[in-house]
Structure 1
Amino acid sequence: MSHAFQNAAVFLIGTLFSLYILALMLRTLLALSRADFYNPISQFLVTITNPPLRILRRFIPPIGPVDSAALVLILVLKMLELFIVGVILGVMIHPFTLFIAGILAILRLVIWIYIISIIIQAVMSWFQAGGMSQNPVAGLVYSLNRPLLNPIRKVMPQTGMVDLSPLVAIIGLNVLLIFISAL
């Protein structure tokens, strides 16, 4: 296989799997944070992720508020992505290694979702007076970040108009990324 074809195939496989896994993870995290189900973005995520989840939920029940069928599908898709990329590159990966690499990749994805959503929330807060509160993204981002930022806000001293909890959260999330990358 030519090097260019391998690179293109790895890129396409990685992109397609990553986009769908991202949609599944966002759906799961938004459900856990009790975000607005009727938000247009939430409805889009439900629409594109419902077909396989409907089937899996027959066999995999939820564990409390956690949609375990979605988590299983995310892990299986990530492992399948890594396996296919390995085959394209001519590398056979042990199933246990695929499992561990899949879990670590999912943890990194969750951390990056929170880092990016906190940055989006901070930037949107600068423009909130201009009608950004009506934006469908704003409500979801605030709902998604609330479980992470509220405990930090309770511990952080008040600094007037400036909320430092997003900065503290991003620093903490980056420290977690460092530890996960070390594994």
Structure 2
Amino acid sequence: MGSPVDQAGLFLLQFIAGLVIFVLVLRFLIRATYTDWRNPIVMFIAKVTNPVCKPFAILLPSRGRWDYAALGAAFSVQVIFILLVSWLSARDFGLAFILLSALTEVFNVLLDMLFWLIIIQIILSWIDQGRNPNLDIFRQLTAPILAPFQRLIPPMGGFDLSPIVAILVIKLSQILIVGSIAQLAQSMV
């Protein structure tokens, strides 16, 4: 994969796979946090991801708030991407490497999404004091994630420091847990 055309093709594949995985993980988070399904953004995400998730819903039915089909679809898209990279680069990746790499990528996307949702919610809490339905989705997505941290660390002097702790836990999880799994996968190449 040395030529610019090969690199452009790989970039395009990576972009498409990353976008699809992002939207599928977002669907998972929307359902997991009980985000209002009447929100136009949520309805759009559901409409776009339904064709991909429906086949997976047969094998991985949703239980309560957990949309396992969305995670299964995201995992499968990442597996397909790794297989395409393997084929294009004429390298043979083992099954364990493919599965662990796909798992780490989906977890990384999930944790990155949580990180950025919290950052966006912090910024919006400074800017938007009203109830804008299009921006309210960020509050709905982050409230269940921040709730346990808010119980541990009550607001001090009018400042809610729980997002800082949540971000710290998310990033440490990424480094320690996801990083360890990725390192294990790399040792299998």
TM-score by structure 1 length? 0.91
- Measured in 2, the distance between the counterparts of 1:38 and 1:157 equals 31
Q: Distance in 1 between matches of 2:154 and 2:54?
A: 45
Query: Which ranges in structure 1 are unaligned for 5 or more consecutive residues?
Result: none
TM alignment of 1:16-55, pairs within 5 A:
16-55=16-55
CA distance in 2, matches of 1:147, 1:44: 22
**SS of 2:58's equivalent?**
coil
Name the aligned partner's letter for residue 182 of structure 1. Answer: S
| CA–CA separation in structure 2 for the residues paired with 1:112 and 1:162 | 24
**Which amino acid counterpart does residue 148 of structure 1 have in structure 2?**
I
Q: Are 2:154 and 2:160, in contact at CA under 8 Å, matched by a contact in 1?
A: no
1:58 maps onto 2:55 in alignment: no
Describe the superposition over 1:111-163 as per-residue Cα deviations: whole angstroms up to 9, x where unpaired.
Answer: 1000000000011011113x5x3151x22211111121111111114312211
Measure the CA separation in 2 of the matches of 1:60 and 1:105: 20
Q: Deviation of residue 97 (structure 1)?
A: 1.1
Report the more deviating stretch, 60-69 or 72-81: 60-69
Rounded Cα–Cα distance in structure 1 between residues aligned with 2:65 and 2:128: 31
In structure 2, what is the equivalent of residue 122 of structure 1?
A: 122
The answer to whether the 8 Å contact 1:34/1:143 transfers is: yes
Aligned-residue Cα RMSD (Å) equals 1.6
Structure 1 residues 102 and 153 mapped into 2: Cα distance closer, same or farther (>3 Å)?
Answer: same
Residues 54 and 15 (structure 1), Cα distance of their counterparts in 2 relative to 1, 3 Å cut: same
1:1-150 superposed matches below 5 A: 2-129=2-129, 131=130, 133-136=131-134, 138-150=135-147
Structure 2 Cα separation of the partners of residues 40 and 157 of structure 1: 33
Give 2:157's aligned residue.
160
- Runs (5+) with no aligned partner, structure 2: 182-189
Q: Which residue of 2 aligns with 1:171?
A: 168
Contact 1:149 1:169 in 2 (8 A): yes
Q: Report the Cα offset of residue 2 of structure 1.
A: 5.0
Q: 1: distance between equivalents of 2:165 and 2:148?
A: 11
User: 1: CA distance between counterparts of 2:2 and 2:98?
Assistant: 25
Moved more, 56-65 or 4-13: 56-65
Q: Decide which moves more: 54-63 or 105-114.
A: 54-63
Contact 2:39 2:133 in 1 (8 A): no
Q: Which moved more, 1:68-77 or 1:25-34?
A: 68-77
CA contact (8 A) 1:6 1:89 kept: no
Deviation at 1:182, TM superposition (A): 3.3
- Between the aligned partners of 1:24 and 1:171, the Cα distance in structure 2 is 25
